[in-house]
Amino acid sequence: MLDYSYKYGVNMLGAWGFLLAALCFGIFALTFQTMVVDRTKLKLSSFSYAYYFMAVALAVWSVAAANGDSHFLKTAVLIGDGLLLAGSVFMLYVLIGDKNRTFVWLSVVLAAVLLFVRAKYYSPAPFMSGGILEFNSQTPVALALGAIFAAVWLPANISTAKQVAHAIRHDEISSYYIYIYTAATISALLFLAAKRVLAVVLSFAAIGVCFLMLIASNMLVSKLGVKNGTK
C-alpha cells in the first residue's frame, strides 16, 4: 500500500503539479473572461486566451510527465513551447492592441521562426528525475523563455491590471495586482527551473497561492462591477 501510494504520489509529483497548475491557469482564464471581460467590456479577451494556451501547455507536460516515455517527452516539450509562444503572441496583442496589427503579424512569423529553430537546432532533451520533468533547456532557450516572460507576459499583466483597476474605479488596487502578477511570474519561473522535489512542491504551492489571489481578484471585479452598474 505504501509503495502504491509512493508510486502515485511522489513518483508522479511532476505530473500532479503540472495538472494542478493547468487547472489553476484554466480556472483563472475562465473566471477572467466571464467575471472581468464580460462585465467590464474591456477588450482583454486575448489575455484570457494567453492563459488558456498556457493551461493547455501545462496539461500536455502533465501527460508527458505521467507517461515518462523519452520520445513523448521531447514531443510534449516542443508542443508546450509552441503553445507558450502562441500565448505570448496573444499577450503581445494585449500590449499593442489594434494600434499596430502589422507588428502583431510580424510577431506571429517570429514565433514560428523561433519554434523552427527550437525544433531544428536546439532540440528538446528533457528527462524524468525522481518523478519530476526536467526541461534541461539549453542556455539560449532558457534565456529566450525568460526574456519572453519578462518582456511580454509581465508588462502585459501589469497593463491589464491597470486597465481592470481603472474600470472598476479602484485605481489604488492596481499595485496589488502588480505584486500578485510579479510573484506569480517569479513562482512560475522557479517551478519550471526546479530540480528537487522540495523546490517543486514549494514553487507549486507559491503558484497556487498566487492564482487563488488572482481568482479572488476576478470575483472582486465581478462584485464591484455590479455595484458600479456595469452589469
Partner 1 sequence: MEPNSPQPQPIPPASQPAAQTPPGPQPKSNDAIRILLFVLAGLVLVGMLLPRTFHSILIYPLLIFALLAAKNFYDDTQKQVPARDKTVHVFKTLVKVGLITVGVIIGFIILIIAAFAQSGV
Q: Which residues bind partner 1 (CB under 8 A)?
A: 9-10, 13, 170, 173, 176, 179-180, 183, 186-187, 190, 194, 196-199, 201-203, 205-206, 209-210, 212-213, 216-217, 220, 223-224, 227
When the beta carbons of 92 and 165 are compared against partner 1, the nearer one is 165
DSSP 103-157: HHHHHHHHHHHHHHHHHHTS----EEETTEEE----HHHHHHHHHHIIIIIHHHH
Nearest in space to 192 (alpha carbons), one of 116, 137, 129, 229: 137
Least distance (Å) between residue 212 CB and partner 1:
7
Phi, psi of 28 (to 5 degrees): -60, -45
When the beta carbons of 23 and 201 are compared against partner 1, the nearer one is 201
Least distance (Å) between residue 9 CB and partner 1:
7
When the beta carbons of 78 and 183 are compared against partner 1, the nearer one is 183
When the beta carbons of 79 and 197 are compared against partner 1, the nearer one is 197
Least distance (Å) between residue 213 CB and partner 1:
5
When the beta carbons of 108 and 186 are compared against partner 1, the nearer one is 186
Rounded Cα–Cα distance for residues 80 and 57 (Å): 4
Distances from the Cα of 43 to the Cα of 37, 72, 182, 205, angstroms = 7, 37, 22, 31
Least distance (Å) between residue 228 CB and partner 1:
11
Least distance (Å) between residue 195 CB and partner 1:
9
Q: What's the distance, CA 117 to chain centroid?
A: 22
